[in-house]
Amino acid sequence: MSTKMQRLFSLMMAVLMMLSLTACGGNATSSTPASVSGSGSESGEQVSEAAKRLEEQKELNIMFVAGNFAESMQKIYDDYEKEYGVKINYTILGVDTYFQKMLVEMSSESDAYDLIYLMSPQFLQYASNDWLYPLDDLIADKSITDDALLDLDGLMQSSVDAQRYEDKLYGLPVCSLTTLLYWRKDLFEAAGLDPEQPPETWEELREYAQLLHKDGVYGVGMRGARSAGGSEGLIWEWPMVMYSMGGDFVADFPNDMTPTLNTPEVVESVEYYADLLQNYSFPGATTCNFEDITVSVQQGDLAMWIDGAAIVPNYIDPEKSKTREEDVGFAPVPAGPEGRCAPLNVHSVNIPKNAKNKERAWHFMQWALSEETLCALARKGIWLQCPGRRYTIMPILLRKMMSATAPG
């Protein structure tokens, strides 16, 4: 690592630690949910039974999607096991394999797993099929819930609401993801464009892509793959074009569910999206996913791209990417005639309806998603993700701030 990068890394971690300590200081709570208290809305006998079940549950079976959160949790499972005398059995699978397996497990009413990982596209399917265990009774039981540790008010309200179905809460948010427009400032400057001024509208994006698409450089990258399994593919990005052009999937959700995919606005958005991928992107773009976009960025041959905010560390990793951090700009996605529309994808942890160790799973959720644990992970540089809790700092903003102030 160069001296400059070492200084940048040190400065970034120092500021992150300062901000994390601010979030964690003063009112930091114990990482242990309350023991039997005999309080709460239930009778003392019922509360004692819940606490007894918790103490008897010395095993926890977890299956998560491969990714930053699963890898982060894997590094601290030992801490939980040592503190509470619980054996954690964990499985991590790639996203499509994970959701294929999970579909079989849930539809067969399996009790193999106590804690699972979901994303917004799958949540409604799981909740509406009665495959998840609601958290409301667990939250109300103060023998196994520490309200200060749980700190529901400290979670982003929109992310919490995304875990509600028919007035019941079925999960806690891990992170909330959206998309950004990225561009190469150096390629903009070489093409005679203002390196600090990205396209503001979808039509401008196409004009810029036409100008930049030359000499081995591809104008723009966006997902084109069919959405399957757990991979969002183009459904993560094309709808923001459709909505901003005035289109919609149905006439008036949820009052009138008549499909409206044949309206002029929707057709225009499809033709626009197909034109971008077919004429101004890299070969195979019509079937690409975020991995393909990341590779193209790392190879240094993509001028603009739209994808998740959480992927940015892979774009600018000096050991993997030819694209330099100082050359990457970022901004909100372009706007259409009806304004700007970016997606929201909430990742969550959930308890299956037939889980054998529900109280233990709930205990672990409080511990793992507490302010104290997340701040500790951030200080260690293990979990730097988009916010599930309101104070969490998006790494892209932090890194850009660090780049602007790092010594030369």
- Which ranges constitute the DSSP H helices of 3-58? 3-24, 44-56
What's the confidence (pLDDT) of residue 404?
42
DSSP secondary structure code for residue 132 in this structure? B
What's the confidence (pLDDT) of residue 47?
55
Q: Return averaged pLDDT per consecutive 10 residues of the chain, 408 residues in all.
A: 39 36 37 43 57 93 89 88 96 90 95 96 93 96 92 88 95 90 97 97 98 96 82 87 97 94 97 97 93 94 92 86 94 96 91 97 94 76 58 42 40
End-to-end alpha-carbon separation of the chain, Å?
A: 15
CA dihedral 162, 166, 172, 178 (to 10 degrees): -10
- Which ranges constitute the DSSP H helices of 87-245? 95-107, 120-128, 136-140, 147-150, 157-161, 185-190, 202-212, 238-244
Rounded Cα distance, 52 and 72, in Å? 30
DSSP string computed for 165-187: ETTEE-EEEEEEE-EEEEEEHHH
The helix/strand/coil state of 118 is: strand
Rounded Cα distance, 376 and 75, in Å? 12
Indicate the residue type of 140.
A
Domains contained in the chain, CATH given:
30-174+349-369 (3.40.190.10), 179-340 (3.40.190.10)
Rounded Cα distance, 374 and 381, in Å? 10
Is the dihedral angle over the CA atoms 330, 334, 340, 341 positive or is it negative? negative
What's the confidence (pLDDT) of residue 26?
36
Tokens found for residue 42: 């239930």
What's the confidence (pLDDT) of residue 403?
44
The helix/strand/coil state of 96 is: helix
What's the confidence (pLDDT) of residue 380?
66
Q: How many residues does the chain have?
A: 408
Element at 70 (helix H, strand E):
helix 68-74
Tokens found for residue 173: 């948010």
Tokens found for residue 321: 């990417």
- Which ranges constitute the DSSP H helices of 193-289? 202-212, 238-244, 264-279
Backbone φ, ψ for residue 315 (5° rounding): -70, -35
